[in-house]
Structure 1
């Protein structure tokens, strides 16, 4: 479809969605007095619709400023919403009002019917929001003044997600500004945190408390080997500012409350101070869980996979690459007596802005290289780090979670590969790149052989898509048929990730 024709079609569909949404809210308002439960459900619908309406209105105004890849993605999302919301309104009009509220139908039966269908409407709207939100936050990547003007609109600022988007864009602009030190420091006094932190096993991260209260925080360290102190501090500051505005339970990232700067005779280390959401405790890495819990239900494994996939998306939404995704950098908290509650991606050891100068310095630790793309292995990697390299690391982790077997087995201080992962020769290969491709081949073969029977074909396809995200072949779902995926704003690869990984894994039902 031509851009002009698409714009007209989408604007028309947006107007229809807003019209149907307003009718739905009006209908809900009229039914609130029937019963308390119905009133509560109606309020939920009104709340979700308020957020949706703001997003749709902003989308309509920004349409001409959006990248073509985003326009195509949003067009599909809007069409999905139209089908859901028009079906809800038309269904109530044709069935509920005409038949179910006939005088011969008892009032109690009418209320039961109404409650059931209103609950379905809430679910449909919330499901749509969950699918739409990741791509909504991709707007932060657009270098377009019109986006800022739209988000400054008082009507848009009534929506928490629009406010969060506005704040994240502000943080991004601060990080790109030469005057960013004037916006307030994220660095806090060492005296704010207690001096006896508790180390989280298998990590260089700690649990601690504020000196003035009992509230616990997670301290996550950075290393940045081979990087100048000024560049390290700049990257840490910029990421901390962005992580101030995350919704932890939605993003799969902990909210940053500040940074500690520790000086030693040899180096300077930074520690992010992460807020631990209320009700969560006893964090463990996925590596620890893999070794401590020999069995794990399929539903919990899929839950972990979904949360991690969202975490990676939102790191990239902020304009950063993580560079260290592996089971040691994913923590899972206990909640309500359950030892496997929400999980969060931490371990921002080498994080930097996606467009910033990369470090080609690596290491020879096979247990880290296992999660790196072959071209990023060895002491000196051959390619600059991109978002796709994080996506490859995600694929290895998703494979490990699905199999629920630790690929790295620890015996004292020695680390050996899982016996079924036959990479002994590859990790001893003198040519790190060649050994890396041998490992990638083994991981791909393992996924094809084991995953379909364990987690199904759809999960398997997601893992293979991640492992093959930089392959030069027609099976690569990230290949834009000759279009360079390293676009200036990082939009194209983000859209492809949402469509081929995030949304597909969100659709998995167990």
Structure 2
């Protein structure tokens, strides 16, 4: 089926490295493009389902199986040719669909009229051809026995891929219970030499340990969705996962970086050292912007983190000469990286409305809709942005909301929070505090009051507006503007809205 000068890209053949990823990107484009067609007809719905299957469904698995068989040594040459031809036909039609959808404008009256005249029939033809090629590939896989083949688990770090250096042991990241630094020999591929690297280990020991399937899914998001061939700001490179000695994710420690500590620890360590630990305001602005861009990196990859808080942000420090003043200014407070990936999932995926635990030390960072045992709303990008706003509030105050180093070992909320919550005048402040921490809307209002009262004299009005906008991002109207609704925006639209506000808030901060 020809279409307006569309030329098939050579990358959509099984022999090409990255062909599966390329197909996924096209499927994601088709799915997202159709999300913008708010008056979608049945044909658009069908094309959207195809896009989902191609980006992260059965069709993606079929292409992975075809690629795995094609690259298997000794696989029948005739069958290889059959597979390559079928995938090529599918790829040609996917490119036609991509080109066709890119030209449609069904938001305007004129665009809908043109579609009614000639576009709808063409869309049905494309959809029919796509479904035929999809079914033909599925039938071919069954015919040659590939459908039952097990894909190799490239994410499982067995001894042949990662060998831990036992003499080094595991060094815990200060004031954490599930983060470790260690070293080992890592082999990228079977045909390459191993190299010695330093790694961050994130153990999955909270509550119930995840199944191997769940851990594999998390590693897949981090290795494939967030990798994309280009390092993402604020996201460590994930090498894969291990089940022994415990369920854990393995991340490569960037070269020239050491002394890992969480942002919560960094802020807590500065208590009693003068205002904001005597750090220049520029350093904190730079850190805040870097954290914001880390969250944008996740959302750009169509994922949500679901557990953003200062204890889930790792700060790595550059190895520099302590006497080198220029270098110290250049590196600032260090480089922030998001950690604690146990809840990460697709932004458009299914999310549970039940939570197994409800700790106030984590709930204080969550939007009121997402607190408690039975949460009110499906998770969306706005919930991540709200949590980011709480973190930016802490960076602006340079005072931890949650005090963990207490005399009795029990965490306590900050004195600033208590003051804004008007607990000082109560005859039973601890009882009232406990009640307020259980009232999700009161927690949010206290955080807003804290931002509006304490931030302007410390960090200025621009930074304050950013924090308040994040905390009000899911209000009606949204803190980002009356036209913004994170419950309805797709990930691309939401990312643009947030990025524009961040860039306005930090116009002069160098990255």
TM-score (norm 1): 0.59
Q: Distance in 2 between matches of 1:188 and 1:252?
A: 23
Partner of residue 221, structure 1: 203
Higher relative contact order (CA 8 A, sep 6+): 1
Q: Of 368, 372, 376, which residue of structure 1 is paired with 2:366?
A: 372
Q: Is the 8 Å Cα contact of residues 182 and 198 (structure 2) preserved in structure 1?
A: yes
Q: 1:261 to 1:226 in 2, by over 3 A?
A: closer
Which one is further off, 309-318 or 412-421?
A: 412-421
Q: Which structure carries more helix by proportion?
A: 1
Q: Of 126, 131, 156, which residue of structure 2 is paired with 1:187?
A: 156
Q: 1:218 to 1:478 in 2, by over 3 A?
A: farther
Partner of residue 406, structure 2: 411
1:197 CA drift (Å):
1.1
Query: 2:456 matched to 1:457?
Result: no
Q: 1:232 to 1:188 in 2, by over 3 A?
A: closer
1:243 CA drift (Å):
3.5
Q: Is the 8 Å Cα contact of residues 155 and 219 (structure 2) preserved in structure 1?
A: no
Q: Secondary structure at the match of 2:154?
A: coil
Q: Distance in 2 between matches of 1:187 and 1:431?
A: 41
1:91-122: per-residue Cα shift (whole Å, max 9, x none)? xxxxxxxxxxxxxxxxxxxxxxxxxxxxxxxx
Q: Of 273, 276, 284, which residue of structure 1 is paired with 2:253?
A: 276
Q: Secondary structure at the match of 1:253?
A: coil
Partner of residue 342, structure 1: 335
Q: Is the 8 Å Cα contact of residues 305 and 401 (structure 1) preserved in structure 2?
A: yes
TM-score (norm 2): 0.59
Q: Distance in 2 between matches of 1:297 and 1:419?
A: 23
1:167-226: per-residue Cα shift (whole Å, max 9, x none)? xxxxxxxxxx99997375211115622352111122211101114754211112346857
1:245 CA drift (Å):
3.6
Partner of residue 503, structure 1: 503
1:319-334 correspondence to structure 2 within 5 Å: 319-334=302-317
Q: Distance in 2 between matches of 1:202 and 1:394?
A: 21
Query: 2:206 matched to 1:206?
Result: no
Q: Is the 8 Å Cα contact of residues 247 and 255 (structure 1) preserved in structure 2?
A: no
Q: Is the 8 Å Cα contact of residues 436 and 443 (structure 2) preserved in structure 1?
A: no
Partner of residue 22, structure 1: none
Q: 1:471 to 1:351 in 2, by over 3 A?
A: same
1:376 CA drift (Å):
1.0
Q: CA RMSD in A?
A: 3.6
1:472 CA drift (Å):
1.5
Q: Is the 8 Å Cα contact of residues 485 and 492 (structure 1) preserved in structure 2?
A: no
Q: Is the 8 Å Cα contact of residues 256 and 274 (structure 1) preserved in structure 2?
A: yes
Q: Distance in 1 between matches of 2:97 and 2:205?
A: 34
Q: Distance in 1 between matches of 2:458 and 2:148?
A: 53
Q: Distance in 2 between matches of 1:145 and 1:227?
A: 40
Q: Of 287, 296, 299, which residue of structure 2 is paired with 1:313?
A: 296
Q: 1:214 to 1:364 in 2, by over 3 A?
A: same
Q: 1:219 to 1:426 in 2, by over 3 A?
A: farther
1:415-454 correspondence to structure 2 within 5 Å: 415-422=411-418, 428-429=434-435, 432=438, 435-454=439-458
* Structure 2 residues not aligned, in runs of 5+: 1-28, 37-54, 61-92, 100-137, 139-146, 187-194, 272-276, 323-327, 422-429
Q: Distance in 1 between matches of 2:298 and 2:336?
A: 15
1:426 CA drift (Å):
6.7
Q: Is the 8 Å Cα contact of residues 486 and 494 (structure 2) preserved in structure 1?
A: no
1:146 CA drift (Å):
4.8
Report how many aligned residue pairs link the two structures: 340
Q: 1:148 to 1:494 in 2, by over 3 A?
A: farther
Q: Is the 8 Å Cα contact of residues 155 and 216 (structure 2) preserved in structure 1?
A: no
Q: Is the 8 Å Cα contact of residues 290 and 405 (structure 1) preserved in structure 2?
A: yes
1:334-360: per-residue Cα shift (whole Å, max 9, x none)? 212458221111111211112222122
Q: Secondary structure at the match of 1:258?
A: strand
Partner of residue 298, structure 1: 281
Q: Secondary structure at the match of 1:420?
A: helix
Q: Distance in 2 between matches of 1:426 and 1:350?
A: 31
Q: 1:262 to 1:504 in 2, by over 3 A?
A: farther
Q: 1:329 to 1:350 in 2, by over 3 A?
A: same
Query: 2:349 matched to 1:356?
Result: yes
1:508 CA drift (Å):
4.1
1:40-59 correspondence to structure 2 within 5 Å: none
Q: Distance in 2 between matches of 1:444 and 1:179?
A: 55
